[in-house]
Structure 1
């Protein structure tokens, strides 16, 4: 089989004792050591299974940390996502590329082919970690980064999980970069979101949030229809020059018409206004509501179209298809894989029509 455009091949070696250790408790976050060979260069690494419910899947996802040499592609950590429940394997990358194209910060992603101890593990998505290297690679000012790790990252004073007041306003977040003072500022921001009087909100919120970037992110979540994206599946970065928070998407496989289990999700399942406290308060301001409407109209004309997206989808599908045929977890469902581009095209058309039909609500 001749492959014109080749995927990078990652050859991972894990000592059998460490393999047993990984499998003994898939929820253990203590890493094991390994060796990773890429383009003939060997790296000594630490690795651990990543994700929450995805750890139960037979095809595992990994977080890889480099320590000798400590840097690869201007980073010292990346993630290898199995994309096990996505029959297309495309949705995460398609989403991050889309977010980038509409003016949001988003992780870089590329497909690779992974072998573990000489055995094919199949097509993986290498995802850039959102950390200080992420900022350096974009020449952005260093600043704190918080991961939204559960439903309490809802910008509210109330817990989504316990249905009561939060014990701490930083609950729901895991701090990746920064200090305790940065955590206190995050708590202050969440308090202000909830307590700034309505008549002052439009003017005051820009002291805490980059509203233009937030609205671009909101448009991306709504158009790709990531139901989990409003209280989960994002990171917050505070730009130290402006003091404003920007929001970064994360884990976008349950998009483009499928849910977290890979099942069909109706194109009108997620409302145009989304949900969470910050979104509700921003869209309560007429100025920002009109800004969001204009932004949606622009994206619907330009980036969220078949003319724009279909060549990208076809290119990705053609690139990885020969490798899917040798992926032990996916090769038996190649027919399903081949049907997915058309499924995504139908979703784009239906979702676009649905959002256009609701734009008048943003008057």
Structure 2
């Protein structure tokens, strides 16, 4: 716990302020930053996406080339205007630290702007070279990428609205390592997938970040523009989460005290966030598919890496062990309530009378956040038990991408028909009928299946060429109910095999035979 809330001051010339007021996307302007008795010449700009339009603005501060503030070259001063509790994003970053995951440090500060008190902000450590040093990366010149819009899906192809990966260091070097890692994530044959991730990824950190997403109900990960860092000294990648102010744990500022005292809707985000198992993936799809100007050709958005982790028995077991450990030792009222009390008490004196603040909401936010921990914890335990017990009776039993066939088996007790289901080579295009063309399956990507009955304990062989489906040597294959973009029965990310080899599902998962 920080013992006090330091004061920062920004002095921005009137002409620059008028530019920001006229256009929130105005580039960096000259300003002065003061803290700890020292004055710095800096560049400032507004930060965030929708946050730029809030009354309480968030700021990015960049120091001169040779200047450092507490060892840092830039600051992210986040207003947290959307969260009436002022606690959610701070809790999320602190939980990451508690789980020993390299993630940004978040510190409460007070901000004055041109002499006027703006309230409490969260100073969130920038992911840059100073971050590498502060978090003991072996390579102090590691290659830092920031996900472009939707790039955190970690797939190998792009959609029209998707942004470009932004390279923050080693900009002049080729992107071969990133492309190779995306190939590992998407095309490693399933039997070798866990071993490949251990070799190429800081897997422990990634699993724990998935736990954080579950605990704090991290929503809008697709828009987070998180970081992917390649440490050349250990030849491994690290996923570094960003933009944790979008966790569902926040108390949206427009929600009244009366409503949030009883509502628990935002505590019921299904496991695991931002994967194909997450029912809210469809919720976001339904919300955004109609926004054709902003999202032309919008498709369901989820992480291929997180989805493959859940599908792999060994990795799923590891993830479950980390989740259980967090629920036992960390995310409990006994641990979290005193922490919430301390955070709230720390900033309460600086929230009283602060502009842009509903103090009654803030005061109620402490007990609300305690209730969030209690109810979210109970929901996660229940939903994880549901996931462990859940299984589709229809599964892929064998698959030959060279010969072009897949065996669909019925492990249930009654006969099942495949009529109306969808077989697809793109897990984001999976609907038999749709009012949104990009998700409607058709050859050569996929096909709606005819009325084929699979007896219990039996299997049927589907020849993809007869269905008009064109297979690539490496890719993905999914069987969906044809009604929902998350209505998946079974799926497989597959890599190229040698002639005569095929995938077969054994007792412990997929094998190559």
Structures share fold, TM-score greater than 0.5 = yes
Contact 1:44 1:69 in 2 (8 A): no
Q: Deviations over 1:109-151 (max 9, x none)?
A: 1111111111111111111101000011223222111122422
| Cα offset, 1:320, TM superposition | 1.0
* Residues 358/161 of structure 1: CA separation in 2 closer, same or farther (3 Å cut): farther
Contact 2:340 2:370 in 1 (8 A): no
Aligned residue runs from structure 1 range 1-363, under 5 A: 6-28=4-26, 30-67=27-64, 70-140=67-137, 141-142=139-140, 143-159=142-158, 171-181=163-173, 183-229=175-221, 232-255=224-247, 257-258=249-250, 265-272=265-272, 274-275=274-275, 276-330=303-357, 333-360=358-385, 361-362=387-388
User: 2-side partners of 1:241 and 1:183: how far apart?
Assistant: 17
* Residues 294/161 of structure 1: CA separation in 2 closer, same or farther (3 Å cut): farther
Contact 1:35 1:43 in 2 (8 A): yes
| Cα offset, 1:12, TM superposition | 1.4
Contact 2:143 2:170 in 1 (8 A): yes
Structure that is richer in helix per residue: 1
User: RMSD across aligned C-alpha pairs, in angstroms?
Assistant: 2.2
| Cα offset, 1:74, TM superposition | 0.7
* Residues 71/33 of structure 1: CA separation in 2 closer, same or farther (3 Å cut): same
Contact 1:233 1:251 in 2 (8 A): yes
| Cα offset, 1:226, TM superposition | 0.8
* Residues 63/36 of structure 1: CA separation in 2 closer, same or farther (3 Å cut): same
Contact 2:60 2:75 in 1 (8 A): yes
Contact 2:120 2:351 in 1 (8 A): yes
User: 2-side partners of 1:349 and 1:160: how far apart?
Assistant: 39
User: 2-side partners of 1:153 and 1:260: how far apart?
Assistant: 24
Rg: which structure is higher? Answer: 2
Contact 2:201 2:236 in 1 (8 A): yes
User: 1-side partners of 2:48 and 2:222: how far apart?
Assistant: 18
SS in 2 for 1:111: strand
SS in 1 for 2:266: coil
Q: Deviations over 1:212-231 (max 9, x none)?
A: 11101111111111112256
Give the TM-score taking structure 1 as reference length.
Answer: 0.89
User: 1-side partners of 2:153 and 2:349: how far apart?
Assistant: 41
SS in 1 for 2:151: coil
Q: Deviations over 1:288-345 (max 9, x none)?
A: 1111111111000111111111122111111111111232111xx1111011111111
Give the TM-score taking structure 2 as reference length.
Answer: 0.64
| Cα offset, 1:159, TM superposition | 3.9
| Cα offset, 1:279, TM superposition | 0.9
| Cα offset, 1:258, TM superposition | 3.5
User: 2-side partners of 1:104 and 1:286: how far apart?
Assistant: 23
Q: Which moved more, 1:345-354 or 1:153-162?
A: 153-162
Q: Structure 2: any 5+ residue segments left out of the alignment?
A: 276-302, 390-513
How many residues align structurally? 349
User: 2-side partners of 1:69 and 1:219: how far apart?
Assistant: 38
Contact 2:31 2:41 in 1 (8 A): yes
Contact 1:79 1:127 in 2 (8 A): yes
| Cα offset, 1:43, TM superposition | 1.0
User: 2-side partners of 1:288 and 1:216: how far apart?
Assistant: 12
